[in-house]
């Protein structure tokens, strides 16, 4: 398969490069940034696409319990399956941060479908 399928798009956040042109994210980096955008967007946040995003933001004021963690894992997996067709979600896990009890580190292991390359992304989620 052709790696061009993974796409090229503006970086997030949008910023200029050294030549004053808009910086672009290519291929695997574009996928990584897309995952970050999905996880950082709350459902209902986008006016023209209110169903886009991840429901983890509904848990911001939830206790740091096993029930909350289970819901977060499920929400992340469901959002990525729905909104990022270029990947297969291999695993979603959480890592507690002992120095900050209100932080849950969400670890996503995923495989790019066209290249079979496996990647890992850690997304910090703040409960309060």
Per-residue pLDDT tens over the stretch 103-118: 999 999 999 998 899 9
Residue 92: is it exposed, middle or buried by C-beta count within 10 angstroms (0-12/13-18/19+)? buried
Query: For the domain 3-126, what is the CATH code?
Result: 3.10.450.40
Instruction: From 104, 125, 128, 127, select the one nearest 40 (Cα to Cα).
Output: 125
Q: What is the pTM of this model?
A: 0.84
Hey, where are the domains in the chain?
A: 3-126
pLDDT confidence band for 30 (50 / 70 / 90): confident
How confident is the model at residue 107, as a pLDDT?
98
Cα first-last separation, the chain: 44
The arithmetic mean of pLDDT across residues 75-101, rounded, is 95
């Amino acid at each position: 398969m052709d790696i061009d399928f993974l796409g090229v798009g503006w970086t997030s956040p949008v910023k200029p490069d050294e030549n004053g042109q808009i910086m672009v994210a290519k291929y695997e980096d574009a996928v990584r940034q897309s995952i970050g955008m999905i996880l950082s967007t709350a459902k209902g946040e986008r006016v023209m696409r209110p169903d886009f995003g991840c429901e983890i933001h509904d848990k911001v004021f939830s206790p740091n319990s096993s029930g909350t963690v289970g819901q977060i894992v499920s929400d992340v997996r469901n959002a990525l399956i729905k909104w990022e067709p270029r990947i297969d979600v291999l695993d979603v896990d959480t890592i507690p941060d002992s120095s900050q009890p209100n932080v849950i580190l969400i670890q996503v292991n995923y495989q790019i479908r066209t290249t079979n390359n496996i990647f890992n992304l850690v997304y910090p989620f703040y409960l309060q």
